[in-house]
Amino acid sequence: MYTMKNRVTLIIAILFMAINMSYGQKHHKPDFEKIKTLKVAFFTEHLDLTSSEAEIFWPVYNTYEKNRRNLGKTEYHEFYSKLCNNDYTEEEASRLLNKYLEIEKKEEELDKAFFKKMKKLLSAKKTLLLIRAEKEFKKQLIKQYRKKHGGSW
C-alpha cells in the first residue's frame, strides 16, 4: 500500500518523466497537454479532492486559468511588447504605466473572485492547499527545466 509520501513521490517522478519526454520532441516544444494531465493529478493528490469535489473544482479552475492566460496575453501585447522601446515621451510612458496598473488590478480582481469562490465550493483549508500546490507545481516545472537546460538561467 502506498503512503501519502510515496504517492507524492510517484506523481513528481511521473511529472519529471513527462516533462523530459515533452522537451525531447521536435523543436523542443513542451507538450502542454501532458503537463495539464500531470497538473490535474498533482492538484487532485495535493488537495485530496473527492470525485464530487473534483467535478466542482475543475470547471471553475479551468475557467480561472483561461482568464489568467488571456490577461497575460493582454499584458504582453499591451505592455511588455512596448517596453523594448526606450523612445517614449513622458505622456506615452504615463499611458503605458497606467495600462500596466489596469491589467494588474484586473488580475488581482480575478484572483480575489476565484479564491472567494473556491473557499465557498471547497473550504478555506483546501483553498490554501491549492495556493501551495500551484507554487509547488510551478517550482517543480522550473526545477525540471533548469535541470534539462543545465541551470542556464
Average pLDDT over every residue of 22-42: 70
Query: What is the residue-averaged pLDDT of the chain?
Result: 82
Q: What is the pTM of this model?
A: 0.71
pLDDT at 28: 44
Average pLDDT over every residue of 141-152: 79
pLDDT at 30: 58
CA distance 129 to 145: 24
The 10s digit of each residue's pLDDT in 43-57 is 988 999 988 999 999
pLDDT at 146: 85
pLDDT at 60: 97
A 10 A CB-CB count for 44 gives 18
Task: Decide which of 54 and 9 is more confident.
Answer: 54
Per-residue H/E/C for the chain: CCCHHHHHHHHHHHHHHHHHHHHCCHHHCCCHHHHHHHHHHHHHHHHCCCHHHHHHHHHHHHHHHHHHHHHHHHHHHHHHHHHCCCCCCHHHHHHHHHHHHHHHHHHHHHHHHHHHHHHHHCCHHHHHHHHHHHHHHHHHHHHHHHHHCCCCC
The 10s digit of each residue's pLDDT in 89-139 is 899 889 989 989 999 999 999 999 999 999 999 999 999 999 999 999 999
Query: Phi, psi at residue 31, to the nearest 5°?
Result: -90, 100
Look up residue 123 and give its amino acid.
Answer: S
Does the pLDDT of residue 75 top 50, yes or no? yes
Where are the domains positioned within the chain? 1-49+134-153
